[in-house]
Chain A
């Protein structure tokens, strides 16, 4: 069966510090991978998605970046965190199950607080 891991679970970082969040997927090959962010009391915002190694698409311009160094590894980074980067970061993966359907599976999330 497939599983998705994210770490760390919680993180408190000062403004201006760097960030690296990691997501790995087990039990599937060549998945689509996604990073979402959910600010307090708000909906999910798609940040990045990737359809293959080294292929990253950005949905929202900001001080975050993403990389996919291996098929089942997705990394979210920042060189300098802002207060507005606080939120719940979710990694997800999907595969095309049938011609009509992608189902997305979400990880447990990382709760980031920038102080």
Chain B
């Protein structure tokens, strides 16, 4: 699985949009881009994933660069409950049975009221 690079930390104000970047310059054509987040003292939870096209769900949007070497997780209106560590993870080879995720250090998002 290819490596991702994320900023260690970011700050946002409540009710403002947040753009969390992720670089993955060595991504392969079959790697999906996943985002998980981990709230304090909890296990991670799935946020969103995509391959080439931008994706939207109830939690966030995922913008994927045309060359797929970077992506951005967008929280449209940050709330205090969005304060968490956000992980960008590449996963390929779904022909295998493991479904493993390799977590990096992620970006710690702080939200100010």
A interface residue numbers (CB < 8 A to B): 32, 34, 36, 42-46, 49, 51, 57, 59, 88, 90, 92, 94, 96, 99-109, 111
Contacts and interface: CB of A to CB of B under 8 A. Distances in A.
A88 B100 CA distance: 19
A32 B99 contact: yes
B91 A102 contact: yes
Dominant secondary structure at the A interface: strand
A114 to B, nearest CB: 19
Given A49-B100, A101-B32, A106 B43 contact: yes
Contacts of B106: 43
Interface string B43-55: 1111001010000
A104 B46 contact: yes
A49 B98 contact: yes
B51 A100 contact: yes
A62 B17 CA distance: 43
Nearest to A32: B99
19 contacts: A44-B44, A45-B103, A46-B100, A46-B101, A46-B102, A49-B100, A96-B99, A99-B94, A100-B94, A101-B49, A101-B94, A102-B99, A104-B44, A104-B46, A105-B45, A105-B46, A106-B45, A108-B43, A111-B41
Q: What 10 A-B pairs are tightest by C-beta distance, nearest first? A: A106-B43, A102-B99, A44-B103, A94-B99, A43-B105, A90-B43, A32-B99, A51-B97, A103-B46, A43-B103
